[in-house]
Every structure is written in structure tokens, then in C-alpha cells.
Amino acid sequence: MNPMLDMRILREDPDGVAVRLQRRDPSIDLGPLLEADDRRRALLRQVEDLRRKKNEGSEQVGRLQAEGRAQEAEAAVEQMRQTASELKGAEQKLATVESQVQKLLLALPNIPLDEVPDGEEDEKVVLRTWGEPRPADFEPRHHVDLARQLGLLDMERGASLAGSRFPLYTGTGAMLEMALVMWMFDFQVREHGYTALLPPFLANSTSMQVSGQIPKFEDDLYYCERDGLYLIPTAESLLVNLHRGEIISADDLPLRYAAYTPCFRREAGSYGEEQRGLIRVHQFNKVELFHYEVPERSSEALSDLLYHAERVLQELGLHYRVTLLTAQDLAQQAAKTVDLEVWLPGQGRYYEVSSCSDCGTFQARRGNIRYRVASGGKPRFVSTLNGSGLATSRLFAALLEQGQREDGTVELPSVMQERLGREAIE
């Protein structure tokens, strides 16, 4: 596995890289990594010297034996054995230090792009809004209350089946959930030309490491110890590994995939009343969008990705806003992230339903995913981008809360009316 960050850049400009990384986390210290890398390079030189000395000794033994100089050959053999012992010890030390360097590199996040603002997690920048909240002369209800009244969700039975925060969709609620998944999947493939995928719902440790989920966020994952597999927190974990270890022709880029999967997240911690229901659950459905791109087009590709995700909300007629995350709020693999946040009138606030991220070459380095231009030359790492297109749980909540009427019924957007064969949920 390759370094996540270019070690050459870390060596050449350690202070500059440290300053940029500390925008994400002021506690980041590159000192231990650079010291370990110095030891690794010194040991590597020692190993190379000993290997050369061993090879030369082997040639000398052969020459002395051929010349019939048995006593000198025996002394050379003894010297070669000593060299081999020294080599074995140096190789063991090198393997230990290389493992240490790798571990330290795995813990480092991606370097944020210059246009990413500084700030705490709650200091995101609102870039724009779309639509307006629907005027209402009644007190909007929470989606849990609407869903209970209309028989769309049974959170209590879901909890008895699996545990708290595992929703059970019932009746029309189940039909609406599946309609959303199928429509979004079909929409991205037909309207925006994505290649459709239905991947596994579990991933091995290599896939999770390439995507950036482990080792740093391993405690947030559901793990099947007997099989050594993880329930995926997002299809990104799989899609970034589709071309792991490959060299892609530049003529084939960009590659754009849309995948449906359920997603599983521990979401550890306690949450307030405003996050009950479908706001923070352990299992939800999502259509994920993923791009492989040449690095020079990363910025344009992120704009494309964001537009494709926004189209879903616009087709559903939902009021939302677009926000740019600060450096401290970025996921480990992201260099820049733009969120789509849908309005929930029953709670009087916005919630994220899609995060669209440019990861640069960070994941490609982990997975050794490269491309070669038509003119030849050394292969280069691709850029990877990902975004939800979209996640259904909060989207389901937004449809109920934004579409609610005073009598407790819910008006459906036209695209869902066609799928469900009804204008409203009553």
C-alpha cells in the first residue's frame, strides 16, 4: 500500500505541510513520522549495502573455490555468514520501522484545499439556498409524529427486532422508502450517465483502509469478527476499491458509478430530542455517486457531482441549502466537502442529506490506483470524488415534514405520486 500523503513532499516541506494539516487538527505533529522515516532510510541504505556485500562475498567464494584456494574460500564463507546474519537483523529492524511509518501515515488526514475555510465544526459557510420553506398557518409536526399517525414507521418494533435506532418502515412508509431508492438510482443512471452497480454490503479490511475508514474510525464500524468483514458505512468504501491496483487509460476517464446499498453506522453517543426518529440511525439506505477523474479536473468534477445530487432535491421540490465545510469538519479522506442540507420545519433546522467530497489523490495512493496518458510516460494517481445521491432516512423525514398539511396528511411530490399511484399519504 502506498503512502496516503506524498512522503517526498513531507520531507521537502515538513513545516508547510504541518501548517496545512493543523488547520484540520492543531494537535497534528509530524515529528515522530519524520524521525521514523529518517531511521527507515538509514536502515534501507544499510540493508542495500549488506546485500551488495553478501553478493560480492558469494562471487568471491565461487572464484576462490574455482582457483583451488580452499583455505581462503573457507574464510570467505565464514565472512559471508556473518554478513548474512547482519543482513537478517537489519532487515528485521527495517520491517519494524516501515510498519511504524505506515501506521503513522495511516493516521494522517488529507491536506485541505486552500479554498476550504478555517473554523470549528459548527462554522460552515452557507453558499446558497434553493426554494423557500412552505408557508403554514399551523404548527408543523415532527416526522415521527406524522409517521406514527399515518402508519409509516414503527420505531418500537424496529428496536425490539434489532435495537434502538434501527427503523422499521411499514405499509405506505415501506413503499415510499423503496420508491425513493429506485427512483434516485434510476434518475442518476438515466439522467446523468452513471454506471449502475449493486455491490456487496460488506467489505474486507483492505477496502476499508483504502477508503479511509480504518484504522482511525474502526470503533464506529460494525465488524463480523468470524469472517473479518465490516458492514459498510457507505458504498464509497467499496467503490473506491473497484480499480485498486490498476492502471486506467486516460481515455477511459472519467469513470462514474452509482450504487445502492444500505449503510451501517454505530453513531455512538447520546442525542437530544431534535435528533430522534430518522435523523441519526444505525441503518439507512443510500444511493452513492463516485467519480474517478484526472486531478486537473477535480474542481469541475466536484461541481458536476454536487449538481447531480442537487437535482434530486429539486425534483422532489424540497427546500435546502448548500454549505462549505470548514477544515476541522472534513472527513479524514476529504480535501474539500460541500454539504446539501434539507429543511425540516418540524424541528426548525437544516440537516445534511448529502456530502460531496473531493479526495484528490489521497485514496488513490492508498489503493495504488493510477492512470496513463495516451502519450505514455509514468502512470499518475487519479483523483477520487464521492457524494450521496442521496441518503433516504433524512430525505424521508423531509418529505413528511415539508409536505405535511394541517390535517396531518402529507402531499407527495409529483415524482413520488407517479411511483406510488397517489397524490398524498392519508
| 40 Rama class: left (phi>0) / alpha (psi -120 to 50) / beta | alpha
Among 207, 237, 298, 355, the one annotated catalytic: 355
Active site residue 52: no
Nine cell digits for residue 254? 472519467
Q: Which of 24, 165, 265, 366 is catalytic?
A: 265
Q: Which of 256, 370, 394, 401 is catalytic?
A: 394
Mapped onto helix, strand or coil, the DSSP state of residue 85 is helix
User: Rounded to an integer, what distance in angstroms lies between the CA atom of residue 53 and that of residue 47?
Assistant: 10
- The bridge status of strand 336-344 relative to strand 202-204 is unpaired
- Sheet with 380-381, side-by-side order of all strands: 247-249, 370-372, 380-381
401 is catalytic: no
φ, ψ dihedrals at 284, nearest 5°: -155, 165
End-to-end distance of the chain based on CA atoms, in angstroms? 55
* Residue 352 among the catalytic residues: yes
Sign of the Cα torsion 293, 296, 298, 300 reads negative
- For 1, which DSSP code? -
Return the biggest CA–CA distance within the chain. Answer: 107
Helices 392-403 + 143-150 axis angle, to 10: 80
Strand partners, 385: 291, 358
> Is 68 strand, coil or helix?
coil
The span from the CA of 295 to the CA of 381, in Å, is 8
d(C-alpha 83, C-alpha 304), whole Å: 59
Which one, of 130, 127, 124, 125, lies nearest residue 311 by Cα? 130
Query: Of the listed 98, 315, 352, 411, which one is catalytic?
Result: 352
Active-site option among 280, 297, 321, 380: 280
Buried b (16+ CB within 10 A) or exposed e, 20-36: bbebbeeebebeebbeb
Amino acid at 83: T
Looking only at the bridges linking them, the beta strands covering 370-372 and 255-264 are: unpaired
Q: What's the grid cell of residue 105?
A: 501515515
Residues annotated as catalytic (active site), given as ranges = 265, 280, 352, 355, 394
